[in-house]
Amino acid sequence: MEVEVAGIKLKNPTILASGILGTTGASLRRVAMAGAGAVVSKSAGSEARVGHRNPTVIEVPQGLLNAVGLSNCGIDEMAGELEIAKEAGVPVIASVYGFSIDDYVKSAGALNSYADAIELNLSCPNVERAGHFFGKSPELAFEAVREVKRKVKVPVFAKLTAEAGDIAEIAKACEEAKADAIVAINTIKAMSINIDARRPVLGNKVGGLSGKCIKSIAVRCVYEIASEVSIPVIGCGGILTGEDALEFIMAGAEAVQIGTGVLLRGISVFRKVSLEMKEFMEERELKLEDIRGVALR
């Protein structure tokens, strides 16, 4: 079930999403060897970051709620981790975040030589324009993608948030800025309250919701984006089974990313999802090309 996304060949359409087992080269390599078609590193910034205080991750019905706070080792150390990850022989995608355009450009430029593609985590606030988020503003998203594209030679993926007023509009802005692919979606802002303690459970109070509970939202976003852009779309959000992945493919996705599913179903989830997709198609004598975007027709 080989697929190609923005010129990058994958042995199967499953990709490790940023944030899960993506901190070290050894963990990325392990995931790749467990069957992932590609792996995405944890988002790295121009400087190392400690993140939020505990608790940072809790389990909620049908998913996880996290407020890690972009904790990371920084781009200098991440470069070495990416080199280790590439030993597995599958495409390695470097995720970067920024609080300004310069942040994105610096981080992407530093990791350009170590990755097969750069993924821009656009769910960040712009410190130069208080109250504005890159992933919610077509203008800011366009500028971030455009400037990074000018800096790097590898494909650039834009990872978007469902919290944008019109996610398809953001995707179109990224396409106009020459993004090579769109990833949808990132986690969704949420909260859980301990009714005995009478306060939010997470140390940061608010966190990002992921897992099965956001799948239908993610499928809708992929559908809307695929309806408006011609560049590849990678679906992400609540994928645990081959059936889940096929929904995204039918909504127009070229491939899918799995994050929380790794924690809920184990590191073999990539191989399992690929096998379940293959069995579905073989039973019906179908190929991925036959069903990709079929819901859009």
Query: Most distant CA pair in the chain: distance in Å?
Result: 55
Q: What is the pLDDT of residue 51?
A: 85
* pLDDT of 127 over the 60 cut: no
Structure tokens at 141: 């998203």
Residue 16 CA to its chain's centroid (Å): 8
| pLDDT above 90: percentage of residues in the chain | 91
- Say what the pLDDT of residue 253 is: 99
Predicted confidence at residue 128, as pLDDT, reads 63
**Tokens representing 258?**
């799995």
pLDDT band per the 50, 70, 90 thresholds, residue 70: confident
Residue pair 70/46 in contact (Cβ under 8 Å)? The answer is no
Burial 18-42 (b: 16+ CB within 10 A, else e): bbbbbbbbebbbbbbebbbbbbbbb
Catalytically annotated residue among 73, 124, 174, 213 = 124
Segment 213-227 mean pLDDT: 98
Q: What is the pLDDT of residues 192-214, one digit of tens each?
A: 999 999 999 999 999 999 999 99
Token code pair at residue 75: 């781009």
Catalytic: 124? yes
Give residue 123's pLDDT.
87
pLDDT of residue 146: 99
38 pLDDT above the threshold of 80: yes
> What pLDDT shows up at residue 129?
61
**Average confidence score pLDDT of the chain:** 95
CATH number, domain 3-48+72-185+210-296, options 3.40.1160.10, 1.10.260.30, 3.20.20.70, 1.10.760.10: 3.20.20.70
Q: Look at residue 71 in the predicted model and tell me its pLDDT.
A: 87
State yes or no: pLDDT of 131 exceeds 80: no
Q: Please provide the DSSP assignment of 122-165 as one string.
A: --SB-TTSTT-BGGG-HHHHHHHHHHHHHH-SS-EEEEE-TTSS
Task: Determine the 3-state secondary structure of 64 from DSSP.
Answer: strand
What tokens appear for 206 in the block? 């608010």
Q: What is the mean pLDDT of residues 69-81?
A: 93
Average of pLDDT values for 238-246? 98
Residue 130's pLDDT is what? Answer: 54
Cα–Cα distance measured from residue 15 to residue 31, given in angstroms and rounded to the nearest whole number = 9
How far apart are alpha carbons 46 and 31 in whole angstroms? 25
- Residue 125's pLDDT is 65
- Let me know how long the chain is: 297
Q: Which helix (H) or strand (E) holds 206?
A: strand 206-210
Q: What is the pLDDT of residue 218?
A: 98
pLDDT in tens, 79-123: 999 999 999 999 999 999 999 999 999 999 999 999 999 999 998
pLDDT band at 124 (very low <50, low <70, confident <90, very high): confident
CA dihedral (122, 125, 128, 132) positive or negative: positive
- Residue 265 CA, chain-centre distance (Å), reads 18
Ranges of each domain in the chain: 3-48+72-185+210-296
**Does the pLDDT of residue 287 top 70, yes or no?**
yes
Question: Given this model, what pLDDT does residue 116 score?
Answer: 99
**Whole-model pTM?**
0.96
